[in-house]
Chain A
């Protein structure tokens, strides 16, 4: 077991972990942050995407032990994140989810799209969503929701 200290949703967490414990397993099982979902566990489905040091990352293929000192944000700690809040409202309005399994991770990818690519069009949004698999919605509602937030943000900036 190795000692680990990191910030999780703005709170300092000190814990002991086995090196082979992934960041996702550590956060789900030890911190009870079960909004992180595990699908493929090899970085393909995207369901475990969270923010590590402010950027989206796959928590299933990173070892917790390698995240000493990192700043983690999961969906549970995103209530005061205005971009996530706006996206959640848009996902509700545009039917951007059905079963909800992909949703927390989808929101973090969506957050990355609207903040990093403010000029993105629907085609670019679809391209960026290639790394997050949704088997319910057919993506149409998700793309509409993200486009709605993008357009809102553009209108606010004008």
Chain B
């Protein structure tokens, strides 16, 4: 339960961090809040040769309102979001999601960017930001680039980030007052990794409707046609059976117990969005 040996380097700006990342020599990981990587290293599931500490990078702490988007720096903590330190652009959804991540002592240090790049199949930000249709802002040696979150997470613990790139932050689309959302987690104890997460966001003013399932073996799953149907009918007639049918129709094979649990999660997310 102790991490294997590694070299540690603290960086104070983006240029230094990027150049440290590009230095050859073994497996290199970025260290921010240490709330996912720390446990992984203690369990020796991760054994990086080098850690680059980016906690001091001010460019990654920024929060900025842009036309139609809110930029949230990668180093913003779950506790910052829970406490409402950011302008509420998602009708309370991000605050709700942040408050449900692990425990307060973890939320005080864990970061939104760390959660995204860690890409746990039951991770809250990969799920919630997928439902919100966020964009990931990435810095690298050739300058910044932007990826829609749909194309960012490739599978469990796998994202489309090059070894010499850093996530600077996320751009979260601003929801209108007419937007509705639901977020339902199934777990045995609050704070544990969820066994299933259903997330639903619909904004009539921009025409988006997204239904996401997480807690499977891979990246969050998006149920596109189901979400559109739910949005058109304001969730009427979307019951447990239709949730189960929607999951079955994806062609994905779930164990009967898992299928039932996932159907409950997405059904309850939709019920939450439209009120009981």
Contact = CB atoms under 8 A, between A and B. Distances in A.
Interface of A: 2, 18-20, 22, 25, 40-44, 46, 49, 52, 55-58, 60-63, 65-66, 68, 109, 112, 116, 127-128, 130-132
Contacts of A57: 105, 108-109
Contacts of B191: 130-131
A106 to B, nearest CB: 12
28 contacts: A2-B8, A19-B5, A19-B7, A20-B6, A40-B1, A41-B42, A42-B39, A42-B43, A43-B35, A43-B106, A46-B103, A46-B105, A56-B104, A56-B108, A57-B109, A58-B35, A61-B39, A63-B3, A63-B51, A66-B53, A66-B55, A109-B104, A109-B105, A127-B190, A130-B191, A131-B102, A131-B191, A132-B103
A59 B31 CA distance: 15
Interface string B65-100: 000000000000001000000000000000000000
Interface of B: 1-8, 10, 31, 34-35, 38-39, 42-43, 51, 53, 55, 79, 102-106, 108-109, 189-191
Given A41-B42, A61-B38, A63-B8, A20 B2 contact: yes
Given A61-B39, A66-B8, 9 more contacts: A22-B38, A25-B2, A41-B2, A42-B38, A42-B43, A55-B79, A56-B104, A60-B42, A63-B38
Contacts of B1: 40-42
B2 A22 contact: yes
Q: Taking chain A's interface residues, is the majority helix, strand, or loop, or is none over half, making it mixed? A: mixed
Contacts of A63: 3, 8, 31, 34, 38, 51
Contacts of B190: 127, 130
Contacts, number: 93
Q: What 8 pairs across the A-B complex have the smallest Cβ distances? A: A131-B103, A61-B38, A19-B8, A41-B1, A42-B39, A56-B105, A130-B190, A55-B108
A157 to B, nearest CB: 21
Nearest to B77: A55
A138 B5 CA distance: 39
A61 B34 contact: yes
Nearest to A38: B1
A56 B109 CA distance: 9
A66 B34 contact: yes
Contacts of A58: 35, 38, 105-106, 109
Given A19-B51, A42-B1, A66-B55, A61 B35 contact: yes
A50 B80 CA distance: 19
Contacts of A41: 1-2, 42
A136 to B, nearest CB: 18
A25 B1 CA distance: 12
Q: Which of B2, B6, B34, B43 has the most CB of A within 10 A?
A: B34
Contacts of B55: 66
A68 B191 CA distance: 29
Nearest to A59: B105
A43 B189 contact: no
Contacts of B7: 19
A106 B6 CA distance: 32
B4 A131 contact: no
A89 B53 CA distance: 40
Given A56-B108, A58-B106, A130-B190, A68 B10 contact: yes
Given A66-B34, A66-B53, A127-B190, A19 B39 contact: no
A130 B188 CA distance: 11
Given A42-B43, A61-B42, A130-B191, A20 B4 contact: yes
Contact of B109 (A42, A62, A112): A62
